[in-house]
Structure 1
Amino acid sequence: RIGISLVLGAMLGFLAGVVGIGGGIYLVPLIVILGLGEMKEAAAAGAVFILINSTAGLIARAGAFEFPTDIILPLGLSVLVGGLLGSWLGATRNSARALQRILGVIILAAIILLARRLLFSG
């Protein structure tokens, strides 16, 4: 289990760095699908993974002087507030089944939007 986690983490970290999207978006469904944890455990692991990858990306961009503070600071504050509220609701109010359904809808929407962009953009 630790070996799978290490390999999966390295691959997802690399993919997240290349694509520029926090690897938690890939990690959470894989943890559940591979049976490495329950939905709430997967969500918690995904949050930590996203934090680590996002911090690494932020440091890399700040070093390259590509840090638009007029966008990042207000967005970061609103994400923090939303994340705290969402985490509280997920931990105390929603069942694991409800979280799986929410995640499924989000992933399906992302697939549809990505497919639309790939198929119909010039």
Structure 2
Amino acid sequence: MIITGYVLTALGALGILFIGLRYLLAPHASAATFGLPDWPREAFQSWLNLKGVRDLGIGLLTVTMLITATPVTLAWFILVTALIPTGDMLVVLRYRGSKALAYGMHGGTAAALVVIAFLLLLG
């Protein structure tokens, strides 16, 4: 179970690194995938870039934890990071964004992180 947890953690880290880079390099194309309604382009780009930096940071931190942490420490880190997509889901729902993206992408990511954390803890 620990190996499965490590592999899933590595895949998640690569995924969030990709998302972060995409929000920095193509913020407007990425915006629709977050689930919020459209905003004016000028004001929106800076916030999308901030999301990109946040996602890159958490991705690099995940890689660092994957390399240096024990399975139990990694599990608790992953469990705490599940708060990020949970918060994203609540923001999308609060501002009447796409429910499908809120629950499917953000809620699904949070649930996957909880499963990965338990795989690491139980392994």
TM-score range relative to shorter protein: 0.3 to 0.5
Greater relative contact order (CA < 8 Å, ≥ 6 in sequence): 2
- TM-score w.r.t. length of structure 1: 0.38
